[in-house]
């Protein structure tokens, strides 16, 4: 007998048939003597629909009211899931985030969890009930409904698993687990059996979107091991856990492709101390997140520097730079263009050399030009042109021996 926290994402609860399918899966485990806490997302597409509806009324809707609105999506699903379980003769009860004791800071639409008591979940479970909890939502100290940022149901599940000291935490989604690359880009990608929190975080930061990154950070901080698996079959998924020594035998675990970057180049800057500081301070103040950076050698007292930002932030970044040039009385923008970030990730890099050499020589032999490079302890990333992206991802995936056998 185990206490299991499960989470079902939007596709897994997309309609009443699928909700009934979830209820059957829950019942099967319950009938084997397990205790279950089940976190659910809004039906797929509902949160986006609610956002769009608000925006037809006001381009910048009030954040508190957005939370009131968005929390509705998950509340629909908890009730329907409980009702589906009842229809199978199962004892089940639903709980909102607030009722589950998820206390957050006041930051509407991106609240952080301050404390999680679990409310009466433990008592309900002990009394034999399956407890269905609304993902993505909490309450702040004033009892106001908050939400945890898009994709936040993952965080609810992992935080609850920690709070109730679950024996297992399972994240059910529409894919079989974490893949060595996005199979839509790299058809030879394969499911990874085990991956460390850190690698999954790097993969997420590098453009692969299976889990909400904040939830993985939480799992890492509190060492909440979890499994990502499909709700549509019984295949084992990917176990996400603390780094194990054996993981170092595999040098590269995955290849990530982020097709959402723009490269911005600033030239003709006065080449003196403090320039980079001013540029990145201004960008930070404008809320622009900068990813890769290169500074070129200054010539004739002028410096130039390039960085990448999310494509959606291109206009904002350019505007911020133009405003700064006015104040400095110098500097200009070269034309910005879209790039793709290709990353290789693996904890094995810590103990193996030659990863960069292999990565770059694979790109070279495929005639892929490297525009920028950045590294961390367990990741090497390059910016390349969008035309090269798919070819490069497939070649690198094969070169590191990741292709499915």
Interface ranges with ligand ASP (CB under 6 A) = 9-10, 41-42, 47, 73, 135-136, 150-154
Asked if residue 97 lies in contact with residue 136, where contact means CB atoms within 8 angstroms, the answer is: yes
Report the C-alpha gap between 386 and 258 in whole angstroms: 10
Asked if residue 348 lies in contact with residue 252, where contact means CB atoms within 8 angstroms, the answer is: yes
CB of 76 to ligand ASP, least distance (A): 11
352 interacts with, out of Mg ion, ligand ASP, none, CB within 5 to 8 A per kind: none
Residue from 94, 45, 111 nearest 73 by CA? 45
CB of 150 to Mg ion, least distance (A): 8
Residue numbers at the binding site for Mg ion (CB under 5 A): 9, 151
CB of 189 to ligand ASP, least distance (A): 24
Distance linking the first and last C-alpha atoms of the chain: 37
Report the C-alpha gap between 225 and 180 in whole angstroms: 19
Q: Residue 136 or residue 197: which is nearer to ligand ASP going by CB?
A: 136
Question: Phi/psi zone of residue 119: left (φ > 0), alpha (ψ -120 to 50 degrees), beta?
Answer: left
136 interacts with, out of Mg ion, ligand ASP, none, CB within 5 to 8 A per kind: ligand ASP
Q: How far is CA 269 from the centre of its chain?
A: 36
CB of 275 to ligand ASP, least distance (A): 39
Asked if residue 198 lies in contact with residue 220, where contact means CB atoms within 8 angstroms, the answer is: yes
177 interacts with, out of ligand ASP, Mg ion, none, CB within 5 to 8 A per kind: none
Q: Residue 78 or residue 355: which is nearer to Mg ion going by CB?
A: 78
Residue from 196, 202, 115, 126 nearest 159 by CA? 115
CB of 173 to Mg ion, least distance (A): 7
CB of 370 to ligand ASP, least distance (A): 34
Report the C-alpha gap between 374 and 290 in whole angstroms: 12
Report the C-alpha gap between 352 and 250 in whole angstroms: 10
In which element (H, E) is residue 132 found?
A: strand 130-134
Q: Residue 10 or residue 254: which is nearer to ligand ASP going by CB?
A: 10
238 interacts with, out of Mg ion, ligand ASP, none, CB within 5 to 8 A per kind: none
Q: Residue 9 or residue 119: which is nearer to Mg ion going by CB?
A: 9
Q: Residue 160 or residue 392: which is nearer to Mg ion going by CB?
A: 160
Q: Residue 151 or residue 207: which is nearer to Mg ion going by CB?
A: 151
């Amino acid at each position: 007998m185990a206490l299991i926290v499960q989470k079902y994402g939007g596709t897994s609860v997309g309609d009443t048939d699928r909700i009934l399918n979830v209820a059957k899966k829950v019942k099967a485990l319950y009938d084997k003597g397990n205790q279950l806490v089940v976190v659910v997302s809004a039906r797929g597409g509902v949160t986006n629909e609610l956002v769009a509806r608000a925006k037809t009324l006001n381009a910048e809707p009030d954040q508190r009211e957005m939370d009131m609105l968005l929390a509705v999506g998950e509340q629909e699903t908890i009730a329907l899931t409980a009702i589906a379980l009842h229809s199978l003769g199962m004892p089940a009860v639903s709980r909102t985030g607030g009722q589950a004791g998820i206390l957050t800071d006041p930051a509407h639409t991106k609240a952080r969890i301050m404390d999680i008591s679990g409310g009466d979940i433990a008592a309900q479970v002990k009394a034999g009930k399956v407890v269905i909890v609304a993902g993505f939502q909490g309450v702040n100290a004033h009892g106001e409904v908050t939400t945890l940022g898009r994709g936040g149901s993952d965080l609810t599940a992992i935080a609850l698993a920690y709070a109730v000291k679950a024996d297992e935490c399972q994240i059910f989604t529409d894919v079989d687990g974490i893949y060595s690359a996005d199979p839509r880009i790299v058809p030879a990608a394969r499911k990874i059996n085990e991956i460390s929190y850190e690698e999954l975080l790097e993969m997420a930061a590098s453009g692969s979107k299976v889990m909400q990154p904040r939830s993985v950070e939480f799992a890492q901080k509190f060492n909440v091991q979890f499994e990502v698996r499909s709700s549509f079959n019984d295949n084992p998924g990917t176990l996400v856990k603390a780094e194990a020594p054996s993981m170092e035998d595999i040098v590269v675990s995955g290849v990530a492709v982020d097709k959402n970057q723009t490269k911005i180049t600033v030239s003709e800057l006065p080449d003196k101390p403090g320039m980079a500081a001013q540029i990145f301070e201004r960008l930070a103040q404008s809320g622009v997140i900068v990813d890769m950076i290169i500074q070129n050698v200054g010539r004739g007292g002028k410096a130039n520097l390039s960085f990448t930002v999310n494509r959606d932030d291109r206009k904002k970044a350019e505007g911020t730079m133009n405003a700064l040039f006015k104040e400095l009385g110098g500097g200009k923008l070269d034309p910005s263009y879209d790039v793709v970030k290709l990353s290789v990730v693996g904890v094995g890099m810590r103990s193996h050399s030659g990863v960069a050499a292999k990565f770059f020589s694979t790109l070279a032999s495929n005639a892929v030009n490297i525009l920028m490079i950045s590294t961390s302890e367990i990741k090497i990333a390059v910016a390349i042109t969008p035309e090269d992206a798919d070819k490069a991802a497939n070649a690198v995936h094969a070169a590191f021996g990741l292709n499915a056998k």
